Chain A
């Protein structure tokens, strides 16, 4: 009994994904096709890349509410550079990544200097970024990207879409950083107990800053993939991203308090959300029906997080 419980606990996230796929496979016609399943992967690749960055922040007991409009700003930057200013693809990409890193760093500086919880600091920057994204683009949508750029989001190498390859690389990099390097260790330690980590000689401010900067880079890559895939750039291109990233992190077992969580579970959680959206769409549900389902999922994830915490506390006693 106990053994089964432990296996379920380890694999619960996988089981939910499989259950969701099976459910929609039966309930929705055309869901269980190769084309649709690869579509889900392609559509969610940008979210997975962004979520890796957000997961790092959340493991270190931080939060980032501004991710939607970080993507928005980077997307607008790409649009302006390539479709208006005529800047080449490579310089545009480099500038886009730099802007992502910059936006992440601003979040980091605000959280550290204001000495407030990053949740509060990024709530402020979220609004600022939203404003900047819309003002700088005049609420315009940019089209006419060079084909070579769109290949990043739409092209394939053999049978595999390039954006999925980029996503896999991002996952590997994220996993490697968190699980193999000492930077990753610091991320977990910071979430476990910041003061104890500082007294262990770790420069906690620098580490927190690095986390936000690296998260900004992931968000930058995410924005590039999304802009290239849709072939358009606009301020509100990813306005739902924040909710998805956050829900995926909680569902994937990163507790609010930080200090724990497995990046692979988080990524599977993004896919669960993706399957949910797609499945509901296939069954003829509207975007608003998807909101309801995702909201319920978040409530369930939080409840499960609390349950886990209470159980752990009982065990420790």
Chain B
């Protein structure tokens, strides 16, 4: 990290009707530093980045960059000053080759000259030590590789300030290591990096300094080496969170779910059980077949072979409707596309799973519906102005609670959580963990699929590990170590 300041934001302010999204936020970025920007959802991180790249116009404050002072940026201006942003949602054109994507927008002659494009891309890849064939189509790549292409795309444009918004969200641990190598390479070339992440352990691994924001305000900037987790969380949520994971006691040994020899969707011969009141973690890399297992159990996809016993009874689950009736609930990984109906109210979302049950002669009893919505808003502590509020306007954590409510209203015996806290901020996470614990204590069996190692270790009573569709291990709580789990996760044939 050099001493030269490449970017200085002075008291940047942005007002939206009714909200002060940014309240005099200042930030200083030095050459070659990795600067973490942390805060809960709604803290104003994205808004700040949007001001920086010219997507929105600040209402006050200045942006100093390359010796010049601006009161606002435009996308063009920000690009000319070497600012590049890699967003959470990737912006690649899948039908084009890697090289075409990397060189997108750059002009080398009047027609597409693949030789030049491939050459240029190769240069960038070599610089970053990325090993992807520039001639491949983007749609043939894994999510992690796409992420690398996206970063290379920014780097190919003589980047000086690179903003990475939740870059590791879709990546597995191994791929994260790869990404960090690239960040270090860029750093050694003097590129300043703003690193936004919810995963605190990463911040300690890769960043030099960390700026904390809360409710649109600048809180403080710390040297990463001189701070710790608890201090960061304290600043982020404005209070101290003691332990975000609940204390788990002894659990029942009476099985709720027993599956034997389950095959399908790439999963082979999976046998496991979950006891009543037990939280069982399912670990594995992306593509290990965890979500597939969950979807088969829930009847969302077809199971090729295997027997499933629920509470001692052999059950056949053909579709999600049957699963729900039998008492199996799924909280899907992609909340916005598979979990909730964003355009509808909380009440409609909750009642959707059991409408015939609350209808008389096909007419929906809206009174029962309203009562149920109110009951679960209260029980799950959903923060909302009204039960009619569109789910779209709720925060990630509260959306997750709405999906959970649907499972509870049907009195599920087995609840499958697929990435329960993805994209949910620290404060709301603790809340979700607490709810999961409460459900287990009521005697429900909990299956929890997660890519967050800390969460798996913190929450699970027992853990199964999958790799390439096979069960590669089972660990009890006292046997949990990160290394052990990782070894089993990468136990490939």
Contacts and interface: CB of A to CB of B under 8 A. Distances in A.
B374 to A, nearest CB: 19
B342 interface: yes
Nearest to B320: A201
Interface in B305-358: 319-321, 323-325, 330, 332, 337-344, 348, 351-356
A114 B47 CA distance: 44
A43 B362 CA distance: 33
B228 interface: no
A185 B352 contact: yes
Nearest to B361: A181
Contact of A193 (B321, B341, B351, B356): B341
Given A181-B362, A181-B363, A196 B341 contact: yes
B362 A182 contact: yes
B392 interface: yes
Interface string A177-195: 0001111011011001101
Given A200-B353, A202-B321, A193 B406 contact: no
A260 B323 contact: no
Given A189-B344, A196-B337, A201 B363 contact: no
B324 A201 contact: yes
Interface string A128-140: 0000000000000
Contacts of B119: none
B93 interface: no
B342 A193 contact: yes
B344 A188 contact: yes
Determine the interface band of chain B, counting residues with CB < 8 A from chain A: 20 to 34
A203 interface: yes
Contacts of B298: 199
Interface residues of A, number: 22
Contacts of B341: 189, 192-193, 196-197, 259
Counting chain B CB atoms within 10 Å of each CB, the highest count among A182, A183, A186, A316 belongs to A182
Interface in B351-376: 351-356, 359, 362-364
A316 B392 contact: yes
A84 interface: no
B257 to A, nearest CB: 18
A200 B362 contact: no
B339 A196 contact: yes
Contact of A181 (B340, B344, B359): B359
B300 interface: yes
A198 B364 contact: no
Contacts of A188: 344
Nearest to A205: B319
Contact of A182 (B324, B330, B344, B364): B364
A265 B246 CA distance: 52
A185 B348 contact: yes
B393 interface: yes
Contact of B337 (A181, A182, A193): A193
Given A193-B341, A193-B342, A196-B341, A182 B320 contact: no
A180 B393 contact: no
B348 A200 contact: no
Contacts of B338: 195-196, 199
Contacts of B337: 193, 195-196
Contact of A201 (B323, B339, B343, B362): B323
A196 B349 CA distance: 10
A180 B366 CA distance: 9
Given A189-B352, A195-B338, A180 B363 contact: yes
A99 B325 CA distance: 36
A210 to B, nearest CB: 12
Given A196-B337, A196-B341, A203 B355 contact: no
Contacts of B364: 180-182, 185
A15 B324 CA distance: 46
A211 B324 CA distance: 24
A202 B355 CA distance: 9
Given A189-B344, A192-B343, A192-B344, 15 more contacts: A181-B359, A183-B362, A185-B351, A188-B344, A189-B352, A192-B342, A196-B337, A199-B338, A199-B339, A200-B320, A200-B352, A201-B321, A201-B354, A202-B321, A203-B321
Interface of A: 180-183, 185-186, 188-189, 192-193, 195-203, 259-260, 316
Give the 9 A-B CB pairs with smallest separation, nearest first.
A182-B355, A201-B324, A201-B321, A181-B362, A192-B341, A200-B352, A201-B320, A200-B353, A182-B359
22 contacts: A180-B363, A181-B359, A182-B356, A185-B348, A185-B351, A186-B355, A189-B348, A192-B343, A193-B343, A195-B338, A196-B338, A198-B320, A199-B320, A199-B330, A200-B324, A200-B352, A201-B319, A201-B323, A201-B352, A202-B320, A202-B321, A259-B341
